[in-house]
Structure 1
Amino acid sequence: MKTLLTAASAAALLAFQAPAYAEDLEFLLVNDSSADLVEFNVSPASSNSWEGNLMEGGYLAPSYEIDVLIADGATTCVYDIRGSFADGSEAEDYGLDLCDLGEYTFTD
């Protein structure tokens, strides 16, 4: 029984650490701004261009949150983020370790 508990503990630890090393990255996106988020782009920090709009065909209203899955096959955790809002404003943030953060919040 002791061996089973040790193996289960090791498996649980590996499962807990897995998101930091996985190719797919999931994090929580929160809109604490006063306008609808209508465009959301995420690109690896090593890229010179923005990836496609992850909000295409939708929006994230103020005071709401959504899970975002980045399934780009990259093994990095460090991304740049850009958001465009219904009021015409934009916000950009660079070099974010999304594996450590677990969530990102847009504010005014």
Structure 2
Amino acid sequence: MTAFKTIARAALILAALGTASVATAAEPPVAVDRVAAAAPAQSRDGLNRRVRIHNNTGWTMTHFYASDSRISSWQEDMLGRSVLNAGRSIMMNIDDGSGACLYDLKARFTNGQELTRFNVNVCQIADYYYTR
């Protein structure tokens, strides 16, 4: 996955979490292309691939992966340094610009459990629930 996609996904996650900036006072400011940060990779078919991920497991979600089902490996952790606490939800833009609708979803939790679901059509759903 390109650095652009990683930066764009991180910006979307931070916006959803309500975090204005990832830089701390000790870190030097980093120049970011405003257009690139505001416009992440998107497929050109106009389909919405944003999915609200709900954590109803009772455990904190530490990792979340969404990979095009046609790819045999997992892409980067979309939560990054963040976590998704039990009872909370987050909006994720699953669109990687490939035009794919079928994605494999995997979540890892503080109890060590991983929950994986294959061939989820993110073009047809608005919410995905992780439950026990």
TM-score, normalization by structure 1:
0.76
**Bigger mean CA offset, 89-98 vs 65-74:** 65-74
Distance 1:43 1:22 in 2: 19
Deviation at 1:101, TM superposition (A): 1.5
Residue-by-residue CA offset, 1:20-53 (whole Å, 9 max, x unaligned): x337721110000010000000001111000000
Higher Rg? 1
Structure with the larger helix share: 1
Count of equivalent residues = 89
Conservation of the 8 A alpha-carbon contact between 1:23 and 1:73:
no
| Greater relative contact order (CA < 8 Å, ≥ 6 in sequence) | 1
User: What is aligned with 2:104?
Assistant: 80
User: Closer, same or farther in 2 for the Cα pair 1:23/1:100, shift >3 Å?
Assistant: closer
Identical positions, percent = 21
Distance 1:89 1:48 in 2: 21
Q: Does 1:94 align with 2:118?
A: yes
Unaligned runs of 5+ in 2: 1-42
Unaligned runs of 5+ in 1: 1-18
